Chain A
Amino acid sequence: MNIWTSFLETVTGILNESGFAQFFIGEGYKNLIMIAVACGLLVLAIKFEFEPLLLLPIAFGMLLANLPGAGLYHPEFFDTANTAFWHDGHLLVGEVVKQGGLLDILYLGVKLGIYPPLIFLGIGCMTDFSPLISNPKSLLLGAAAQLGIFIAFIGALLLGMNENVAASIGIIGGADGPTAIFVTSKLAPQYLGPIAVAAYSYMALIPVIQPPIMKLLTTEKERKVRMDTLRQVSKTEKIIFPVAVTIIVSLLLPSAAVLVGMLMLGNLMKECGVVDRICKTAQNELMNIVTIFLGITVGATTNGASFLNVDTLKIVGMGLAAFCFGTAGGVLLGKVMYLVTGGKVNPLIGSAGVSAVPMAARVSQKVGQQYDPGNFLLMHAMGPNVAGVIGSAVAAGVLLNLFG
């Protein structure tokens, strides 16, 4: 009898300490919901191929972080009120390394702002700025599409968020994942998970979000405009461009230097043609490694307690508003350019100013071809598209300067 009782007690003890039991204690049910959300995101990434390179590691990081008792990630380490890990507003990295799990250590790359600039380096290696250099006016479309950032900022303030959180929500409108993560990790790290998930989800949904706005704001005549062929850009111009942009932007807005600087370093490596080996490494191996680390750690920040609340709904709502107003801003300036140039600019390329390279440019091309199958807007839209990357980095610099 004694043996039977001890056996039952042992089994009950094991079951009570298991992760399954934790789901039914306190707010444990939220972890269960988050595991279901993670599985949903995995389906989106694998079956529907929605930004799979990022969504898959994010979803799996979410899954790992919500397994009760696994202890892979400890959000309390990164809480500034925790004096065991923070001293005079600085994170005690040594303590995190000593006591943390794998994801805590990998998360340091997000917390210290290392991964997003490295992603920008890889993006720079893959970006061709020729359409922008041959049509400099497209930079203005990239600026206009940042309107969504500031509209969402106002919306978030009105919904009761503080200015740091509002700025982080607004930057979703830049349609640039690394920039959103960079700004949020500095201004509102507690919202990193929902903001990153919202940013990447909306980027994947750009082909659904943008076309109705583009069609609503343009006439059929405007959508059928065929633009002049772009001039050829010399190699010298392509080499001077990244150097000059880095100097000008960094001197005028030092807080944007790290993002713009790494983007332009990558581009210089691509265009100069003498460092092919490291350029290839930056755009393939380095980019892939950082993407894995970034995705899994961002996913890990989405634990049930911090993700399943009303604030996440506000972030999702304002993020969508940011994308919509950003698209509208670009298209409206495109219309102004159409009028000023006497019908030489197709306003549809304005929507590509929200960055999200090259998805947004493809949307401009696709919508344009619905009305004139022989119209090729892709290269024209690539100008505002890459301008949007610079524009969102500059907008991030402004927000960091204002609230950092």
Chain B
Amino acid sequence: MNYIPLAIDSSKMSIGELSAITTITGVVIVFAMLLILVFMICIFGWVSKAVKKDGSKKDGTSAPKKEKKAVKQPAPKAAPVTASATGDDDEIIAVISAAVAMMYEGTGKTAIVRSIRPAVSGRSAWANAGIRDNVRAF
């Protein structure tokens, strides 16, 4: 091992000296270590932003077209029918709308929910239960 050990000879120190050295060393090292990690994560963020920007510049000609295409598509009018057909109520629509609003909060953009349809995953109820079990955070 080539690292410099920090071990201190406490037998020659008073309680005051030992407390001061340990506290200062500990607090400084913990903060320094986590500050380094803060910078590292910031660099991640900048790099991923730069990569995204670069990607959007390259697709600069095609992106607006896609947007236009999306706008041109008529909004599905089946929303109320679908919601009621599945037996869902207004509360579910309110919850989904609130979640979408939360996602856009602080971005300056406004989202409009035109349609809510049940996702057709093609999975059985057992497969869905398995996925839910695996993706649960805690």
Contact = CB atoms under 8 A, between A and B. Distances in A.
A293 to B, nearest CB: 22
B19 A157 contact: yes
Interface residues of A, number: 50
Contacts of B48: 234, 236-237
B27 interface: yes
Interface stretch (B34-42, B70-78, B89-97): B34-42
B31 A143 contact: yes
Interface string A148-179: 01110110011000010001000000000000
B54 interface: no
Interface residues of B, number: 38
B10 interface: yes
A143 B105 contact: no
B26 interface: yes
A58 interface: no
Q: Is the interface of B mostly helix, strand, loop or mixed?
A: helix
A116 B127 CA distance: 34
B82 interface: no
A390 B36 CA distance: 13
Contacts of A151: 23
B87 interface: no
Contacts of A398: 6, 25-26, 29-30
Interface in A237-279: 237, 240-241, 244-245, 248-249, 252-254, 276
A248 B3 CA distance: 14
B115 interface: no
A153 B23 contact: yes
B125 interface: no
Most buried by B among A136, A140, A387, A404: A136
Most buried by B among A151, A154, A276, A404: A154
B15 A157 contact: yes
A402 interface: yes
Contacts of A126: 137-138
Contacts of B64: none
Interface in B87-138: 102-103, 105-107, 134, 137-138
Interface in A269-312: 276, 280
Nearest to B44: A237
Contacts, number: 117
Q: Is the interface of A mostly helix, strand, loop or mixed?
A: helix
Contacts of B56: none
B7 interface: yes
A245 B6 contact: no
Contacts of A244: 40
Nearest to A280: B134
A373 interface: no
Given A126-B137, A229-B102, A404-B7, A254 B1 contact: yes
Contacts of B85: none
B15 to A, nearest CB: 5
A271 B107 CA distance: 27
B34 A153 contact: no
Contact of A139 (B34, B44, B103): B34
B27 A252 contact: no
B40 A143 contact: no
B26 A399 contact: yes
A198 interface: no
Given A237-B44, A240-B44, A402-B22, A252 B6 contact: no
Interface of A: 126, 128, 132-133, 136-137, 139-140, 142-143, 146-147, 149-151, 153-154, 157-158, 163, 167, 228-229, 231, 234, 236-237, 240-241, 244-245, 248-249, 252-254, 276, 280, 358, 387, 390-391, 394-395, 398-399, 401-404
Ranked 6 nearest A-B pairs via Cβ: A136-B41, A150-B23, A401-B6, A154-B19, A143-B34, A139-B34
9 contacts: A133-B45, A228-B106, A240-B44, A241-B44, A245-B40, A248-B36, A252-B36, A280-B134, A398-B26
